[in-house]
Chain A
Amino acid sequence: MAGLACGGVAVGGCGGASDPAPDAGLRQPRTLGRGRGRVWVGHSGDPASALRAAVAAAGGLGFIPEGGHVVLKPNVAWSRNPQQAANTDPRILAAMIALCREAGAGKITVFEHTIDRPSEQVLAVSGIAAAARGAGADLVYTTAERDFVPVAVTRGKLLTRDTLARTVRDADVFINMPKAKHHSQTGLTLGLKNLMGVIFNRQAWHSGPDLHQYIADYATAVPIDMTVMDASRILLTNGPKGPGKTREPNEVIVSFDPVAADAYACGLFGLSPSDVAYVARAGELGLGESDPANIAIERA
Protein backbone atom coordinates (compact mmCIF):
# COMPACT_ATOMS: atom_id res chain seq x y z
CA MET A 1 0.00 0.00 0.00
CA ALA A 2 1.37 3.35 -0.91
CA GLY A 3 -0.31 5.28 1.90
CA LEU A 4 1.57 6.40 4.95
CA ALA A 5 0.70 5.75 8.55
CA CYS A 6 1.47 9.14 10.03
CA GLY A 7 -0.49 9.17 13.27
CA GLY A 8 -1.51 12.48 14.77
CA VAL A 9 -4.15 14.75 13.46
CA ALA A 10 -3.80 14.58 9.71
CA VAL A 11 -3.46 10.94 8.99
CA GLY A 12 -4.81 10.31 5.53
CA GLY A 13 -2.36 12.16 3.39
CA CYS A 14 -0.15 13.08 6.31
CA GLY A 15 -0.60 16.81 5.90
CA GLY A 16 2.90 17.35 4.62
CA ALA A 17 3.88 20.60 2.98
CA SER A 18 3.92 18.94 -0.42
CA ASP A 19 0.38 17.58 -0.12
CA PRO A 20 -2.32 19.35 -2.08
CA ALA A 21 -4.56 21.64 -0.07
CA PRO A 22 -7.52 19.82 1.38
CA ASP A 23 -10.90 20.41 -0.16
CA ALA A 24 -12.77 22.54 2.35
CA GLY A 25 -15.65 23.04 -0.01
CA LEU A 26 -17.53 19.78 0.41
CA ARG A 27 -21.26 20.25 0.08
CA GLN A 28 -23.66 19.94 2.98
CA PRO A 29 -25.97 16.91 3.04
CA ARG A 30 -29.11 17.54 1.01
CA THR A 31 -31.11 16.14 3.89
CA LEU A 32 -29.47 18.27 6.58
CA GLY A 33 -31.84 18.89 9.46
CA ARG A 34 -34.37 16.42 8.14
CA GLY A 35 -35.42 13.72 10.57
CA ARG A 36 -32.87 14.31 13.31
CA GLY A 37 -33.28 11.59 15.90
CA ARG A 38 -35.64 9.56 13.72
CA VAL A 39 -35.10 6.11 12.30
CA TRP A 40 -37.36 4.01 10.14
CA VAL A 41 -37.04 0.27 10.47
CA GLY A 42 -38.32 -2.13 7.85
CA HIS A 43 -38.87 -5.69 8.98
CA SER A 44 -39.23 -8.62 6.63
CA GLY A 45 -37.65 -11.96 5.82
CA ASP A 46 -37.15 -10.46 2.37
CA PRO A 47 -34.56 -7.71 2.89
CA ALA A 48 -35.56 -5.91 -0.30
CA SER A 49 -39.12 -5.62 1.00
CA ALA A 50 -37.83 -4.40 4.35
CA LEU A 51 -35.82 -1.73 2.55
CA ARG A 52 -38.72 -0.53 0.42
CA ALA A 53 -41.01 -0.30 3.43
CA ALA A 54 -38.48 1.68 5.46
CA VAL A 55 -37.65 4.09 2.63
CA ALA A 56 -41.32 4.69 1.92
CA ALA A 57 -42.00 5.36 5.60
CA ALA A 58 -39.12 7.82 5.64
CA GLY A 59 -40.77 9.80 2.87
CA GLY A 60 -38.95 8.39 -0.11
CA LEU A 61 -35.94 9.57 -2.03
CA GLY A 62 -37.25 12.91 -3.23
CA PHE A 63 -33.97 14.52 -2.24
CA ILE A 64 -32.30 12.94 -5.28
CA PRO A 65 -32.16 15.61 -8.00
CA GLU A 66 -33.54 14.63 -11.39
CA GLY A 67 -30.71 13.11 -13.42
CA GLY A 68 -28.33 13.36 -10.48
CA HIS A 69 -25.40 11.13 -9.70
CA VAL A 70 -25.98 8.90 -6.68
CA VAL A 71 -23.13 7.05 -5.02
CA LEU A 72 -23.93 4.06 -2.81
CA LYS A 73 -21.32 2.81 -0.36
CA PRO A 74 -22.02 -0.70 0.89
CA ASN A 75 -19.64 -2.47 3.27
CA VAL A 76 -17.91 -5.07 1.13
CA ALA A 77 -14.48 -5.25 2.64
CA TRP A 78 -14.19 -9.00 2.88
CA SER A 79 -14.13 -12.11 0.81
CA ARG A 80 -17.28 -13.43 2.42
CA ASN A 81 -20.61 -14.61 1.06
CA PRO A 82 -23.93 -13.04 2.11
CA GLN A 83 -24.74 -15.78 4.60
CA GLN A 84 -21.53 -15.09 6.50
CA ALA A 85 -22.92 -11.62 7.27
CA ALA A 86 -19.68 -9.67 7.00
CA ASN A 87 -20.80 -7.57 4.02
CA THR A 88 -23.91 -5.66 2.97
CA ASP A 89 -26.52 -8.01 1.54
CA PRO A 90 -26.56 -7.73 -2.28
CA ARG A 91 -30.35 -7.96 -2.35
CA ILE A 92 -30.57 -4.72 -0.39
CA LEU A 93 -28.08 -3.06 -2.70
CA ALA A 94 -29.98 -4.14 -5.82
CA ALA A 95 -33.26 -2.90 -4.37
CA MET A 96 -31.68 0.42 -3.41
CA ILE A 97 -30.35 0.91 -6.93
CA ALA A 98 -33.85 0.32 -8.26
CA LEU A 99 -35.32 2.83 -5.81
CA CYS A 100 -32.76 5.46 -6.78
CA ARG A 101 -33.54 4.91 -10.43
CA GLU A 102 -37.28 5.27 -9.74
CA ALA A 103 -36.54 8.48 -7.86
CA GLY A 104 -34.92 10.00 -10.94
CA ALA A 105 -31.22 9.33 -10.52
CA GLY A 106 -29.39 9.68 -13.80
CA LYS A 107 -26.32 7.76 -12.78
CA ILE A 108 -25.82 5.35 -9.90
CA THR A 109 -22.39 4.24 -8.77
CA VAL A 110 -21.55 1.59 -6.21
CA PHE A 111 -18.21 2.39 -4.60
CA GLU A 112 -15.97 0.17 -2.49
CA HIS A 113 -12.40 -0.01 -1.32
CA THR A 114 -11.99 -3.64 -0.35
CA ILE A 115 -9.57 -4.91 2.27
CA ASP A 116 -9.30 -8.48 1.06
CA ARG A 117 -7.76 -8.85 -2.35
CA PRO A 118 -8.24 -9.22 -5.18
CA SER A 119 -11.21 -6.89 -5.19
CA GLU A 120 -12.79 -8.73 -8.12
CA GLN A 121 -13.01 -11.94 -6.09
CA VAL A 122 -14.39 -10.11 -3.06
CA LEU A 123 -17.08 -8.44 -5.15
CA ALA A 124 -17.93 -11.74 -6.84
CA VAL A 125 -18.16 -13.90 -3.70
CA SER A 126 -20.13 -11.24 -1.85
CA GLY A 127 -22.68 -11.08 -4.67
CA ILE A 128 -22.17 -7.31 -4.89
CA ALA A 129 -20.78 -7.23 -8.42
CA ALA A 130 -23.71 -9.19 -9.81
CA ALA A 131 -26.21 -7.13 -7.82
CA ALA A 132 -24.76 -3.78 -8.90
CA ARG A 133 -24.33 -4.62 -12.54
CA GLY A 134 -27.58 -6.55 -12.73
CA ALA A 135 -29.45 -3.52 -11.43
CA GLY A 136 -27.72 -1.23 -13.92
CA ALA A 137 -25.29 0.60 -11.63
CA ASP A 138 -21.64 1.34 -12.27
CA LEU A 139 -19.27 -0.50 -9.97
CA VAL A 140 -16.17 1.44 -8.93
CA TYR A 141 -13.57 -0.16 -6.72
CA THR A 142 -10.10 1.07 -6.15
CA THR A 143 -7.07 0.66 -3.96
CA ALA A 144 -5.08 3.39 -5.71
CA GLU A 145 -4.12 6.55 -3.82
CA ARG A 146 -4.72 8.70 -6.90
CA ASP A 147 -8.45 7.99 -6.59
CA PHE A 148 -8.65 9.77 -3.22
CA VAL A 149 -8.53 13.51 -2.61
CA PRO A 150 -7.54 15.48 0.51
CA VAL A 151 -10.38 16.90 2.58
CA ALA A 152 -10.46 19.21 5.56
CA VAL A 153 -12.10 18.00 8.76
CA THR A 154 -13.05 21.31 10.33
CA ARG A 155 -15.37 20.08 13.09
CA GLY A 156 -13.16 17.31 14.45
CA LYS A 157 -11.53 17.15 17.85
CA LEU A 158 -8.51 15.17 16.74
CA LEU A 159 -8.60 14.86 12.98
CA THR A 160 -8.04 17.98 10.90
CA ARG A 161 -7.71 16.48 7.44
CA ASP A 162 -7.82 13.19 5.67
CA THR A 163 -8.79 11.78 2.30
CA LEU A 164 -12.06 11.04 0.53
CA ALA A 165 -12.74 8.91 -2.51
CA ARG A 166 -13.01 11.21 -5.50
CA THR A 167 -16.14 9.33 -6.60
CA VAL A 168 -17.88 10.19 -3.34
CA ARG A 169 -16.73 13.82 -3.37
CA ASP A 170 -18.10 14.33 -6.87
CA ALA A 171 -21.50 12.75 -6.21
CA ASP A 172 -24.74 14.71 -6.06
CA VAL A 173 -26.05 12.28 -3.46
CA PHE A 174 -24.15 9.97 -1.13
CA ILE A 175 -25.98 7.11 0.54
CA ASN A 176 -24.10 5.10 3.14
CA MET A 177 -25.10 1.41 3.17
CA PRO A 178 -23.30 -0.28 6.08
CA LYS A 179 -23.58 -3.74 7.51
CA ALA A 180 -24.34 -4.01 11.23
CA LYS A 181 -21.81 -6.43 12.71
CA HIS A 182 -19.42 -7.21 15.52
CA HIS A 183 -15.98 -5.64 15.50
CA SER A 184 -13.33 -6.81 17.94
CA GLN A 185 -11.65 -3.40 18.19
CA THR A 186 -14.55 -0.94 18.24
CA GLY A 187 -17.32 -3.22 19.48
CA LEU A 188 -19.43 -2.83 16.36
CA THR A 189 -19.12 -1.78 12.76
CA LEU A 190 -22.07 0.41 11.83
CA GLY A 191 -22.62 3.37 9.52
CA LEU A 192 -20.07 5.87 10.81
CA LYS A 193 -17.34 3.25 10.78
CA ASN A 194 -18.27 2.23 7.24
CA LEU A 195 -16.84 5.58 6.17
CA MET A 196 -13.40 4.06 6.70
CA GLY A 197 -14.05 2.57 3.29
CA VAL A 198 -13.96 5.99 1.61
CA ILE A 199 -10.59 7.05 3.03
CA PHE A 200 -7.35 5.89 1.52
CA ASN A 201 -5.27 4.85 4.51
CA ARG A 202 -7.28 2.86 7.06
CA GLN A 203 -4.14 1.52 8.67
CA ALA A 204 -3.19 4.98 9.95
CA TRP A 205 -6.43 5.20 11.93
CA HIS A 206 -6.00 1.74 13.40
CA SER A 207 -2.50 2.49 14.58
CA GLY A 208 -3.33 6.05 15.69
CA PRO A 209 -4.09 7.22 19.20
CA ASP A 210 -7.89 7.12 19.15
CA LEU A 211 -9.75 5.24 16.45
CA HIS A 212 -13.17 6.15 17.89
CA GLN A 213 -12.43 9.87 17.74
CA TYR A 214 -11.09 9.58 14.19
CA ILE A 215 -14.32 7.88 13.12
CA ALA A 216 -16.53 10.48 14.79
CA ASP A 217 -14.45 13.42 13.55
CA TYR A 218 -14.34 12.21 9.97
CA ALA A 219 -18.08 11.69 9.78
CA THR A 220 -18.60 15.41 10.35
CA ALA A 221 -16.83 16.13 7.07
CA VAL A 222 -18.64 13.72 4.76
CA PRO A 223 -22.01 14.71 3.28
CA ILE A 224 -24.10 11.66 4.19
CA ASP A 225 -27.52 12.16 2.67
CA MET A 226 -29.00 8.94 3.99
CA THR A 227 -27.97 5.87 5.92
CA VAL A 228 -29.41 2.52 4.88
CA MET A 229 -28.15 -0.13 7.26
CA ASP A 230 -28.34 -3.84 6.60
CA ALA A 231 -29.40 -5.65 9.75
CA SER A 232 -31.11 -8.48 7.95
CA ARG A 233 -28.51 -10.92 9.24
CA ILE A 234 -25.93 -9.67 11.72
CA LEU A 235 -22.51 -11.03 12.65
CA LEU A 236 -22.31 -11.47 16.42
CA THR A 237 -18.78 -12.82 16.88
CA ASN A 238 -15.36 -12.76 15.26
CA GLY A 239 -15.96 -9.49 13.48
CA PRO A 240 -15.28 -7.61 11.40
CA LYS A 241 -14.28 -10.40 9.04
CA GLY A 242 -15.87 -13.52 10.48
CA PRO A 243 -16.89 -16.19 9.97
CA GLY A 244 -18.73 -16.15 13.25
CA LYS A 245 -22.10 -16.63 14.83
CA THR A 246 -24.97 -14.84 13.12
CA ARG A 247 -28.53 -13.85 13.95
CA GLU A 248 -31.41 -12.68 11.76
CA PRO A 249 -33.18 -9.57 13.01
CA ASN A 250 -34.59 -9.23 9.45
CA GLU A 251 -34.34 -5.45 9.67
CA VAL A 252 -33.24 -2.65 7.37
CA ILE A 253 -32.65 0.67 9.15
CA VAL A 254 -33.12 3.95 7.29
CA SER A 255 -32.28 7.39 8.66
CA PHE A 256 -31.20 10.86 7.65
CA ASP A 257 -29.42 11.06 10.99
CA PRO A 258 -26.26 8.93 10.75
CA VAL A 259 -25.77 8.90 14.51
CA ALA A 260 -29.32 7.88 15.32
CA ALA A 261 -29.10 4.99 12.86
CA ASP A 262 -26.00 3.68 14.61
CA ALA A 263 -27.43 4.30 18.06
CA TYR A 264 -30.52 2.28 17.21
CA ALA A 265 -28.44 -0.56 15.76
CA CYS A 266 -26.41 -0.89 18.97
CA GLY A 267 -29.55 -2.25 20.60
CA LEU A 268 -29.68 -5.17 18.17
CA PHE A 269 -26.49 -6.41 19.83
CA GLY A 270 -27.63 -5.72 23.37
CA LEU A 271 -25.36 -2.70 23.55
CA SER A 272 -25.93 1.00 24.11
CA PRO A 273 -24.25 3.85 22.18
CA SER A 274 -21.96 4.44 25.16
CA ASP A 275 -20.55 0.94 24.58
CA VAL A 276 -19.51 1.96 21.06
CA ALA A 277 -17.59 5.12 21.75
CA TYR A 278 -17.56 6.54 18.24
CA VAL A 279 -21.35 6.70 18.24
CA ALA A 280 -21.49 8.63 21.48
CA ARG A 281 -18.68 10.92 20.37
CA ALA A 282 -20.36 11.70 17.05
CA GLY A 283 -23.38 12.72 19.09
CA GLU A 284 -21.19 14.99 21.20
CA LEU A 285 -19.90 16.61 18.00
CA GLY A 286 -23.48 17.47 17.04
CA LEU A 287 -23.63 15.17 14.05
CA GLY A 288 -26.85 13.57 15.26
CA GLU A 289 -28.74 12.06 18.13
CA SER A 290 -26.99 9.33 20.10
CA ASP A 291 -29.26 9.13 23.14
CA PRO A 292 -31.74 6.28 22.64
CA ALA A 293 -34.23 8.14 24.84
CA ASN A 294 -34.38 10.88 22.23
CA ILE A 295 -34.65 8.65 19.17
CA ALA A 296 -38.05 8.07 17.58
CA ILE A 297 -38.33 4.63 15.98
CA GLU A 298 -40.96 4.08 13.33
CA ARG A 299 -41.44 0.49 12.27
CA ALA A 300 -42.58 -0.25 8.77
Chain B
Amino acid sequence: MRHYPVQYMPLLALALLTLAPAAAPASEDALSRIADLRPVAGWSVLPESTAYGSGDGLAGIYNGGYEEYTRAGVVDALRRIYRNGEEYVEVTVHAMQSARSAREFLADRYRMEKGGAAPDDPGWARFTASGAGSTTAYAVGGVYYITVVSYHDGERGEAQTGPFVRALSANAAKLAGRPE
Protein backbone atom coordinates (compact mmCIF):
# COMPACT_ATOMS: atom_id res chain seq x y z
CA MET B 1 0.00 0.00 0.00
CA ARG B 2 1.26 3.43 -0.88
CA HIS B 3 1.67 5.88 2.02
CA TYR B 4 0.70 9.52 1.70
CA PRO B 5 2.01 12.36 3.89
CA VAL B 6 -0.38 13.09 6.74
CA GLN B 7 -1.02 16.63 5.54
CA TYR B 8 -2.58 15.27 2.32
CA MET B 9 -5.03 12.98 4.10
CA PRO B 10 -7.97 15.46 4.24
CA LEU B 11 -7.60 16.14 0.53
CA LEU B 12 -7.46 12.42 -0.22
CA ALA B 13 -10.55 11.79 1.87
CA LEU B 14 -12.38 14.58 0.06
CA ALA B 15 -11.37 13.15 -3.30
CA LEU B 16 -12.62 9.70 -2.33
CA LEU B 17 -15.92 11.14 -1.13
CA THR B 18 -16.32 12.94 -4.43
CA LEU B 19 -15.76 9.72 -6.34
CA ALA B 20 -18.17 7.72 -4.17
CA PRO B 21 -21.66 7.17 -5.60
CA ALA B 22 -24.27 9.59 -4.28
CA ALA B 23 -26.34 6.74 -2.93
CA ALA B 24 -25.37 3.11 -3.05
CA PRO B 25 -28.16 0.53 -3.05
CA ALA B 26 -29.30 -0.33 0.45
CA SER B 27 -28.95 -4.00 -0.51
CA GLU B 28 -31.64 -6.63 -0.61
CA ASP B 29 -30.59 -7.78 2.83
CA ALA B 30 -31.15 -4.36 4.41
CA LEU B 31 -34.55 -3.96 2.79
CA SER B 32 -35.45 -7.50 3.86
CA ARG B 33 -34.75 -6.53 7.44
CA ILE B 34 -37.36 -3.79 7.16
CA ALA B 35 -39.89 -6.01 5.40
CA ASP B 36 -38.93 -8.96 7.55
CA LEU B 37 -40.44 -12.42 7.52
CA ARG B 38 -43.13 -11.85 10.13
CA PRO B 39 -43.62 -8.16 10.85
CA VAL B 40 -47.21 -8.67 11.99
CA ALA B 41 -48.55 -11.63 13.94
CA GLY B 42 -50.51 -14.05 11.80
CA TRP B 43 -48.98 -12.90 8.52
CA SER B 44 -46.11 -14.54 6.68
CA VAL B 45 -44.31 -13.97 3.40
CA LEU B 46 -45.95 -15.63 0.43
CA PRO B 47 -43.34 -17.87 -1.22
CA GLU B 48 -41.97 -16.59 -4.53
CA SER B 49 -43.55 -13.17 -4.03
CA THR B 50 -40.35 -11.28 -3.25
CA ALA B 51 -38.86 -9.09 -5.95
CA TYR B 52 -35.81 -6.89 -5.56
CA GLY B 53 -34.47 -4.38 -8.04
CA SER B 54 -32.09 -1.45 -8.26
CA GLY B 55 -31.81 1.15 -11.00
CA ASP B 56 -33.36 -0.15 -14.22
CA GLY B 57 -33.97 -3.40 -12.34
CA LEU B 58 -36.88 -1.63 -10.65
CA ALA B 59 -38.78 -2.58 -13.80
CA GLY B 60 -39.10 -6.00 -12.20
CA ILE B 61 -41.35 -4.37 -9.62
CA TYR B 62 -42.97 -1.50 -11.52
CA ASN B 63 -42.51 -2.54 -15.15
CA GLY B 64 -42.62 0.55 -17.34
CA GLY B 65 -43.66 2.69 -14.41
CA TYR B 66 -40.25 2.36 -12.79
CA GLU B 67 -38.78 5.54 -14.24
CA GLU B 68 -41.15 7.60 -12.15
CA TYR B 69 -39.49 6.05 -9.11
CA THR B 70 -35.90 6.43 -10.27
CA ARG B 71 -36.59 10.07 -11.19
CA ALA B 72 -37.91 10.63 -7.68
CA GLY B 73 -34.69 9.23 -6.20
CA VAL B 74 -35.47 5.58 -5.55
CA VAL B 75 -32.17 3.68 -5.55
CA ASP B 76 -33.50 0.19 -4.95
CA ALA B 77 -36.63 -1.51 -3.69
CA LEU B 78 -37.97 -4.78 -2.39
CA ARG B 79 -41.54 -5.91 -2.88
CA ARG B 80 -43.25 -8.86 -1.24
CA ILE B 81 -46.68 -10.22 -0.46
CA TYR B 82 -47.75 -11.27 3.01
CA ARG B 83 -50.49 -13.82 3.44
CA ASN B 84 -52.88 -14.57 6.27
CA GLY B 85 -55.27 -17.33 5.20
CA GLU B 86 -56.95 -15.99 2.08
CA GLU B 87 -55.97 -12.40 2.83
CA TYR B 88 -53.02 -10.65 1.21
CA VAL B 89 -51.08 -7.44 1.82
CA GLU B 90 -48.43 -6.10 -0.56
CA VAL B 91 -45.43 -4.30 0.89
CA THR B 92 -42.77 -2.37 -1.02
CA VAL B 93 -39.76 -0.83 0.73
CA HIS B 94 -37.73 1.70 -1.25
CA ALA B 95 -34.31 3.09 -0.38
CA MET B 96 -34.10 6.68 -1.57
CA GLN B 97 -31.09 8.82 -2.33
CA SER B 98 -31.68 10.86 0.80
CA ALA B 99 -34.13 11.43 3.60
CA ARG B 100 -35.14 14.60 1.82
CA SER B 101 -36.00 12.81 -1.42
CA ALA B 102 -38.00 10.28 0.61
CA ARG B 103 -40.05 13.05 2.22
CA GLU B 104 -40.52 14.80 -1.11
CA PHE B 105 -41.78 11.60 -2.69
CA LEU B 106 -44.18 11.07 0.19
CA ALA B 107 -45.47 14.60 -0.30
CA ASP B 108 -45.84 13.93 -4.03
CA ARG B 109 -47.87 10.82 -3.34
CA TYR B 110 -50.01 12.82 -0.92
CA ARG B 111 -50.76 15.35 -3.65
CA MET B 112 -51.63 12.52 -6.02
CA GLU B 113 -53.94 10.82 -3.56
CA LYS B 114 -55.47 13.75 -1.71
CA GLY B 115 -55.24 16.48 -4.30
CA GLY B 116 -53.65 19.05 -1.98
CA ALA B 117 -50.37 20.01 -0.38
CA ALA B 118 -48.89 17.71 2.24
CA PRO B 119 -49.05 18.83 5.89
CA ASP B 120 -46.39 21.41 6.73
CA ASP B 121 -45.12 19.49 9.74
CA PRO B 122 -41.54 18.26 10.11
CA GLY B 123 -42.81 15.23 12.03
CA TRP B 124 -45.28 14.21 9.33
CA ALA B 125 -44.25 10.82 8.02
CA ARG B 126 -47.34 8.78 7.17
CA PHE B 127 -50.74 8.89 5.55
CA THR B 128 -53.33 6.45 4.29
CA ALA B 129 -55.49 6.63 1.18
CA SER B 130 -58.50 4.45 0.59
CA GLY B 131 -60.42 4.03 -2.65
CA ALA B 132 -62.75 1.45 -4.12
CA GLY B 133 -61.45 -1.95 -3.14
CA SER B 134 -58.08 -0.63 -2.06
CA THR B 135 -56.20 0.98 0.79
CA THR B 136 -52.62 2.17 0.60
CA ALA B 137 -50.55 3.27 3.60
CA TYR B 138 -47.53 5.45 2.79
CA ALA B 139 -44.67 6.15 5.20
CA VAL B 140 -41.12 7.39 5.33
CA GLY B 141 -38.40 6.63 7.85
CA GLY B 142 -35.06 8.23 7.12
CA VAL B 143 -34.10 7.31 3.57
CA TYR B 144 -36.74 4.61 3.38
CA TYR B 145 -40.08 5.08 1.66
CA ILE B 146 -42.64 2.37 2.40
CA THR B 147 -45.98 1.45 0.85
CA VAL B 148 -48.46 -1.10 2.15
CA VAL B 149 -51.41 -2.07 -0.05
CA SER B 150 -54.53 -3.87 1.15
CA TYR B 151 -57.14 -5.27 -1.21
CA HIS B 152 -59.92 -3.77 0.89
CA ASP B 153 -61.14 -0.24 1.36
CA GLY B 154 -62.37 1.57 4.47
CA GLU B 155 -61.87 0.33 7.99
CA ARG B 156 -60.95 -3.19 6.91
CA GLY B 157 -58.18 -1.90 4.68
CA GLU B 158 -56.85 0.43 7.36
CA ALA B 159 -56.97 -2.40 9.91
CA GLN B 160 -54.70 -4.42 7.62
CA THR B 161 -52.28 -1.72 6.55
CA GLY B 162 -51.92 0.02 9.93
CA PRO B 163 -50.01 -2.72 11.79
CA PHE B 164 -47.71 -3.26 8.81
CA VAL B 165 -46.78 0.35 8.34
CA ARG B 166 -46.10 0.75 12.06
CA ALA B 167 -43.95 -2.40 12.19
CA LEU B 168 -42.00 -1.56 9.06
CA SER B 169 -41.43 2.03 10.16
CA ALA B 170 -40.05 0.71 13.45
CA ASN B 171 -37.78 -1.67 11.56
CA ALA B 172 -36.54 1.19 9.38
CA ALA B 173 -35.79 3.26 12.46
CA LYS B 174 -33.89 0.36 14.02
CA LEU B 175 -31.86 -0.05 10.86
CA ALA B 176 -30.96 3.63 10.94
CA GLY B 177 -30.00 3.30 14.62
CA ARG B 178 -32.44 5.91 15.86
CA PRO B 179 -35.81 6.05 17.61
CA GLU B 180 -38.84 5.85 15.33
- Let me know if B124 is at the binding interface, CB within 8 A: no
Q: In the complex the two chains form, is B49's CB within 8 Å of A117's CB? A: yes
Closest to B92 in A: A241
Note all chain A residues with C-beta closer than 8 A to B48: 117-118
A83 to B152, CA, bound (A): 9
Q: In the complex the two chains form, is A82's CB within 8 Å of B133's CB? A: yes
CB neighbors of B among A186-208 (8 A)? 186, 202-203, 206-207
Q: In the complex the two chains form, is A115's CB within 8 Å of B63's CB? A: yes
- Let me know if B127 is at the binding interface, CB within 8 A: no
Q: Please judge, given known A-B contacts A203-B59, A206-B59, A206-B63, whether A81 and B151 are in contact too, CB under 8 Å.
A: yes
Q: In the complex the two chains form, is B149's CB within 8 Å of A240's CB? A: no
For residue B15, give the distance in angstroms from its CB to the closest CB of chain A.
32
User: Which residue, of B47, B48, B59, B67, has the highest number of chain A Cβ atoms within 10 A?
Assistant: B59
A117 to B129, CA, bound (A): 24
A239 to B68, CA, bound (A): 10
Number of interface residues of B (CB under 8 A): 29
Q: In the complex the two chains form, is B81's CB within 8 Å of A211's CB? A: no
Mask, B65-93, CB within 8 Å of A = 1, is: 11110000000000001000000101000
Note all chain B residues with C-beta closer than 8 A to A83: 132-134, 153
Binds B, one of A31-39, A148-156, A243-251, A256-264: A243-251
Note all chain A residues with C-beta closer than 8 A to B47: 118
Count of inter-chain pairs, beta carbons less than 8 A? 84
A240 contacts which of B63, B90, B136, B153 (Cβ < 8 Å)?
A: B63
- Let me know if A1 is at the binding interface, CB within 8 A: yes
Mask, B132-160, CB within 8 Å of A = 1, is: 11101000000000000101010000000
> For this complex, into which size category does the number of interface residues on chain A fall?
20 to 34
Q: In the complex the two chains form, is B88's CB within 8 Å of A184's CB? A: no
- Let me know if B131 is at the binding interface, CB within 8 A: yes
Q: In the complex the two chains form, is A81's CB within 8 Å of B134's CB? A: yes
- Let me know if B56 is at the binding interface, CB within 8 A: yes
Note all chain B residues with C-beta closer than 8 A to A81: 133-134, 151
Q: In the complex the two chains form, is A79's CB within 8 Å of B63's CB? A: no
Q: In the complex the two chains form, is A184's CB within 8 Å of B67's CB? A: yes
A79 contacts which of B65, B81, B133 (Cβ < 8 Å)?
A: B81
A202 to B113, CA, bound (A): 29
Closest to A244 in B: B112
A290 to B132, CA, bound (A): 33
Note all chain B residues with C-beta closer than 8 A to A117: 48-49, 51
A162 to B63, CA, bound (A): 18
- Let me know if A84 is at the binding interface, CB within 8 A: yes
Q: In the complex the two chains form, is B46's CB within 8 Å of A125's CB? A: no
Query: Could you jot down 24 A-B contacts, CB within 8 Å?
Result: A83-B134, A115-B60, A115-B63, A116-B49, A117-B48, A117-B51, A121-B49, A121-B81, A125-B151, A183-B65, A184-B68, A185-B64, A203-B60, A206-B56, A206-B63, A206-B64, A206-B66, A211-B64, A238-B65, A241-B63, A241-B65, A242-B134, A244-B112, A244-B131
**4 other contacts beyond A118-B49, A206-B59, with CB at 8 A cut-off?**
A183-B64, A184-B65, A207-B56, A239-B65
By Cβ-Cβ distance, the 7 closest A-B pairs, closest first, are A83-B133, A185-B64, A243-B134, A118-B48, A184-B68, A184-B65, A83-B132
